[in-house]
DNA sequence: AGTAAGTAGCTTAGCGCTAAGCTAATGACT
DNA sequence: AGTCATTAGCTTAGCGCTAAGCTACTTACT
């Protein structure tokens, strides 16, 4: 009736069953696939953004600014928080994007320690093109499932994510 | 009726809807959650293996040898292929594991270019303990869902993975 | 006002990875 | 036997990240 058991994770589960039949590998079937999907789709996103001159990490910065709305301005601190990156890592990404003319760094008028990072005109058009390419890549991959399955999957993942992220220190 | 829309991915989708209502962000609801789950669970696995003196990458090497069955021997080439790693990266992992006394490198009797990587006694006991800790961490995270939901999720992910991995060069 | 604790962003050292290139050995084809 | 493409594993340079520590500035408390 259902899928005939034949993906790489099934193979791993079978191997474990042969050598350690005492193990309960049920959870591995879920997270093993999540790990592999994350890696495979990450590679595809990288390829989707490349024609626009962006790495995935750089796109993420521009996209965060873009969807914050006008005036497309956030502090490095806000960005590194949202993107779960250390401030050191953020400095590097902003350096690259600034050199490419996609963002601008200016002093925060209310706090002389701080900066404001703003999308340039070029940054705005670049991210608006790239976001479509990324969504296309995701939609193509998802088209393996029908609409009902996709909704079901999104719901189950939401439940798993809210129960997982943040919890457990 | 269903979940009340309130995870970080929903927030991102809402932001996009406000500034770019033309975008179809359906696929993002699936893959955005997969990316975040992969990262969150990856961190947890790291913490689960740490008490056994292993990083996640090192555990993966030992686990691959372990589930290959006796005599727990594979070539560096087989390992780097299975683990989707370059040979350079594999060299580094094997160096660390060999220094820790968890694996042994010996010449391949049939091919003088090659090596055989074998689990030591210490490597075998270490991985047999660590695998349980990792599975526990996964099972705990998965316990947010009931058994039926977990099965459904595993099936949907299998279908998505087989349609994605490998495909699309 | 004066001081101490906290915060913003940057710098540096170190880690683990990839890409590219190397040597030695193998196997297929003449 | 002799050549030549292929393969195994290692080395090196470079990349992007984290952790830790720095300076400059701000905020809360006295």
Residue B43 lies in a domain: no
Position A35 in a domain? no
For residue B168, the model assigns a pLDDT of 45
Tell whether B82 is covered by a domain.
yes
**Predicted pLDDT of residue B169:** 36
Looking at residue B159, the DSSP 8-state letter turns out to be H
Q: Read off the CATH number of the domain in which A137 is found.
A: 1.10.10.10
pLDDT tens track, chain B, 169 positions: 555 678 999 999 999 999 999 999 999 999 999 999 999 999 999 999 999 999 999 999 999 999 999 999 999 999 999 999 999 999 999 999 999 999 999 999 999 999 999 999 999 999 999 999 999 999 999 999 999 999 999 999 999 999 887 654 3
DSSP H or E segment with residue B117: strand B115-119
Q: Indicate yes or no: CB of B154 within 8 angstroms of CB of A33.
A: yes
Q: How many CA atoms lie within 13 A of A167 on its CB side?
A: 15
Give A42 to chain B, closest Cα distance, Å: 8
**A153 three-class SS:** helix
Task: Provide the pLDDT confidence category of residue A6 given band limits of 50, 70 and 90.
Answer: confident
Q: What is the pLDDT of residue A169?
A: 36
Q: Is the residue at A133 inside a domain?
A: yes
For an interface test with A, which of B23, B28, B33 has the most A Cβ atoms less than 10 Å from its Cβ? B33
Residue A114: count of CB within 10 angstroms of its CB: 13
Residues of A in contact with B9 (CB under 8 A): 158, 161
pLDDT at position B163, please? 86
Say what the pLDDT of residue B1 is: 56
Q: Which domain holds residue B126?
A: 56-161
Q: Is A89 a domain residue?
A: yes
**Once rounded to an integer, what is the mean pLDDT over residues A145-166?**
93
Measured distance CA(A75)–CA(A111) in Å, rounded: 11
Any domain includes A48 = no
Own/partner pairs, A98-104, CB within 8 angstroms, 24+ separation? A100/A53, A102/A58, A102/A62, A102/A126, A102/A127, A103/A61, A103/A62, A103/A65
* pLDDT tens per residue, range A32-83: 999 999 999 999 999 999 999 999 999 999 999 999 999 999 999 999 999 9
Q: Which chain C nucleotides are covered by protein, judged by CB under 7 A?
A: 6-13, 16-21, 24-27
Q: Which long-range contacts (CB under 8 A, 24 or more apart) does B79-87 make?
A: B79/B117, B84/A39
C-alpha–C-alpha distance, residues B115 and B90, integer Å? 13
Secondary structure letter of residue B71 according to DSSP = T
Contact B142/A160, CB-based, under 8 Å?
Answer: yes
Is residue A2 pLDDT above 70, yes or no?
A: no
Q: How many domains does chain A fold into?
A: 1
Query: Quick check: A6 contacting B, CB < 8 Å?
Result: yes
**Ordered DSSP codes for A81-144:** HHTT--HHHHHHHHHHHHHTTSEEEEE-TT-TT-EEEEE-HHHHHHHHHHHHHHHHHHHHHHTT
How wide is the angle at C-alpha A54 spanned by C-alphas A48 and A57, nearest 5°? 95
* Contact between A23 and B131 (Cβ < 8 Å): yes
Is residue A98, in this structure, part of any structural domain at all? yes
| pLDDT, tens only, A104-145 | 999 999 999 999 999 999 999 999 999 999 999 999 999 999
Are the beta carbons of B161 and A33 separated by less than 8 Å? yes
Q: Residue A24 is nearest to which of B12, B42, B135, comparing CB atoms?
A: B135
Interatomic distance A65 CA / C9 C1' (Å):
18
In this structure, is residue A70 part of a structural domain?
Answer: yes
The pLDDT of residue A1 is 55
How many C-beta atoms surround the C-beta of residue B70 within 10 A?
A: 8
**A16 Cβ contact list (under 8 Å, min separation 6):** A23, A25, A28, B67
């Amino acid at each position: 009736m259902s899928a005939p058991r034949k993906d790489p994770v099934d193979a791993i589960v079978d191997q474990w069953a042969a050598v350690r039949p005492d193990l309960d590998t049920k959870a591995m079937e879920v997270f093993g696939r999540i790990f592999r999907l994350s890696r495979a789709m990450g590679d595809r996103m990288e390829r989707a953004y490349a024609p626009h001159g962006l790495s995935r990490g750089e796109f993420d910065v521009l996209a965060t600014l873009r969807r914050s709305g006008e005036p497309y301005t956030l502090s490095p601190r806000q960005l590194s928080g949202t993107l779960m990156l250390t401030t050191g890592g953020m400095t590097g990404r902003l350096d690259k994007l600034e050199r490419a003319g996609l963002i601008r760094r200016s002093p925060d008028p209310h706090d002389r320690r701080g900066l404001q990072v703003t999308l340039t005109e070029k940054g705005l058009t670049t991210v608006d093109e790239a976001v479509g390419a990324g969504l296309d890549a995701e939609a193509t991959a998802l088209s393996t499932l029908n609409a009902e399955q996709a909704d079901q999957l999104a719901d189950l993942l939401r439940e798993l994510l809210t129960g997982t992220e943040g919890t457990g220190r």
